[in-house]
Structure 1
Amino acid sequence: MRMGEGVEWGLHCCVTLGWLEDRAPVSIRRLAAWFDLPQEYLKKRLQALARAGILTSAPGVRGGWSLARPPERITVMEVVTALEGPLEPFQCTEIRRRGEGGRDAGGEFDQPCGISSMMRRAELAWRRELAGHTIADLMERAPAGARRTRRNYDRLVD
């Protein structure tokens, strides 16, 4: 499975906004400059997060982006789903029923395909793992990043 770079961007922005909660809202210009990202593309990612209720935006000169909820109430899976859509990495097309191999199978196909079942279990494990971690968890894993962000972020000008 391959996720777009927007997932990385979205997660880093959420973590950064969590670290800068007392300075929120943070402008798109500052976020884009902080990570050296194209502003318009980043804005589209952040808008997707806002539609999902993960971020909120405030218009105007002092406007910008903030977390819509406390970081401990935003899961990594929510961010991934907001940016990538409802992922289904494996699509079973039941090729076992086609061609010569599918003829005269009798009731063999009454049960779900073993490959499909195994892939679904793996997908559910992946989803559970991402749902079990929050933005707050990611924030805690990088205390040096938090200090650096808080110390240097004000140097960027809007």
Structure 2
Amino acid sequence: MKLGEGVEAAIHCAATLASVAGNSTMPGAALAESFGLSPSYLLKHLNQLTAARILESVPGPAGGYRLARAAERITLLDIVLAIEGREPAFRCGEIRRNGPVKLDASAYIKPCGVNAAMLWAESAYRAVLAETRLSDIVAEYAAEGDPRAFAASCAFVERHQRPQKSNPTKQTPARS
């Protein structure tokens, strides 16, 4: 199974935004810069994450992106589905019914074994992603990543985050 490059970018951006302080934001251009991506390419994925309510987009000159909910409440499956969609990766075309020897439909009463195996594998894969929280990824990186890379990431976020004025009518979830 091959996931699009947008999944990697989306997970990294969400993990970066988990480090943004309080209700501050980070501009999409800074997120693109931090991973060497085209801003227009990344914007498409940030918009998908926003539509899925994983990110929140704050308009204006001091705007940007932030997590829409706490990193503990975002799973890798949430992000993958936001980018790749909810359809299974494998789509059975029932090609076993094609070819020079075409049998009556009654010969294919039992579900396709290939389709069943592929859907079972995808179910297992999705279950693991559903158990893995964004906060787990961030905590593992902080604990086990190269300290130089972690410090550089933190410094980048610190330089590029944009503090937002508090909005007393809206509660912002805690971030990790």
Equivalent residue runs for 1:37-52 within 5 Å = 37-52=37-52
Query: What's 1:124 paired with?
Result: 123
Query: What's 1:142 paired with?
Result: 141
94-103 vs 40-49, which deviates more?
94-103
- The verdict on how the C-alpha distance between 1:150 and 1:121 changes in structure 2, with shifts beyond 3 A counting, is same
SS at match of 1:47: helix
Query: What's 2:61 paired with?
Result: 61
The runs of at least 4 consecutive aligned structure 1 residues that moved more than 6 Å come to none
Q: Structure 1: 5+ residue runs without aligned partners?
A: none
SS at match of 2:129: helix
Instruction: Tell me which amino acid in the other structure corresponds to 2:97.
Output: R
Q: Are residue 115 (structure 1) and residue 119 (structure 2) matched?
A: no
2:28–2:64: 8 Å Cα contact kept in structure 1? yes
Q: Structure 2: 5+ residue runs without aligned partners?
A: 163-176
How far apart, CA to CA, are the structure 1 residues paired with 2:21 and 2:74? Answer: 14
2:11–2:79: 8 Å Cα contact kept in structure 1? yes
Equivalent residue runs for 1:72-91 within 5 Å = 72-91=72-91
Query: What's 2:36 paired with?
Result: 36
1:27–1:65: 8 Å Cα contact kept in structure 2? yes
Q: TM-score, normalised by structure 2?
A: 0.79
- The verdict on how the C-alpha distance between 1:29 and 1:100 changes in structure 2, with shifts beyond 3 A counting, is closer
How far apart, CA to CA, are the structure 2 residues paired with 1:142 and 1:78? Answer: 20
How far apart, CA to CA, are the structure 2 residues paired with 1:98 and 1:35? Answer: 46
SS at match of 1:2: coil
RMSD of aligned alpha carbons: 2.2
- The verdict on how the C-alpha distance between 1:53 and 1:62 changes in structure 2, with shifts beyond 3 A counting, is same
More helix by share: 1
How far apart, CA to CA, are the structure 2 residues paired with 1:92 and 1:65? Answer: 38
Q: TM-score, normalised by structure 1?
A: 0.87
Instruction: Tell me which amino acid in the other structure corresponds to 1:149.
Output: S
How far apart, CA to CA, are the structure 2 residues paired with 1:157 and 1:121? Answer: 42
Which of 137, 153, 158 is equivalent to 2:157?
Answer: 153
How far apart, CA to CA, are the structure 1 residues paired with 2:98 and 2:34? Answer: 53
Q: For this pair of structures, how many residues does the alignment match? A: 157
Percent identity, please.
38
How far apart, CA to CA, are the structure 2 residues paired with 1:136 and 1:156? Answer: 21
SS at match of 1:65: strand
